Amino acid sequence: MRIYLIRHGETDWNLQGRLQGREDIPLNETGRMQARQSGRVLQKTGVKTIITSPLIRAVETARIISKSLDKARLIIDDDLIERDFASLSGMTYDRSKYFDTFGVAENSLEPLDKLSKRLIDCITSYAKKYPKQDIIMVSHGAAINAVISVLTQGKNGTGVTGLKNACICILTYENKQLQLEAFNLSAKEFEDRP
């Protein structure tokens, strides 16, 4: 089976380079257009179930994609929520690096090992629940990057890969193994795959 793991569309905070964390920031018009493009290219997958983070930017992305997929069933799961950036939420990336330099935030951030375990456990549980159908999961940049980092043993993902808004990552689940087939694909790149 395949899991299409999708980052939410663009928000104004993405444009401003702000860490969103668990702040509930809505999509902007570009983000809605990106979600529509993703929905269009995912039509051929036949997906009937979309699982999403509870944050509005992910839920809105999932709802827009669902409209393209004959109104696929939507499930909200808290385990797909973004990493907790604690006091860094709302800061620009440059400002957060300043705080990181002095170790202010390190103790308050959700640890990467817990983040990746939470996401991988969530993905695996739905893969087991729907073994005969492909599914879509909508989450967030840091959360998805943590998964990619584990699946590529650190070659990609956290600290290495900047994920595009509304990018599509393709995971496979076979013989109780989760594997990364492709990642960070724009709608056009997904559509142009052989």
Rounded to the nearest 5 percent, the helix, strand and coil shares of the chain are 45, 20, 35
* Angstrom distance (rounded) from CA 127 to CA 135: 8
Residue 24: count of CB within 10 angstroms of its CB: 11
Residue type, 159: G
Catalytic one of 23, 29, 60, 82: 82
60 is catalytic: no
Residue type, 102: F
5 beta partners = 137, 169
Catalytic one of 8, 10, 60, 110: 8
Strand, coil or helix: 112: helix
Report the run of H or E that residue 174 belongs to, with start and end.
strand 168-174
82 is catalytic: yes
Q: Which residues are catalytic?
A: 8, 82
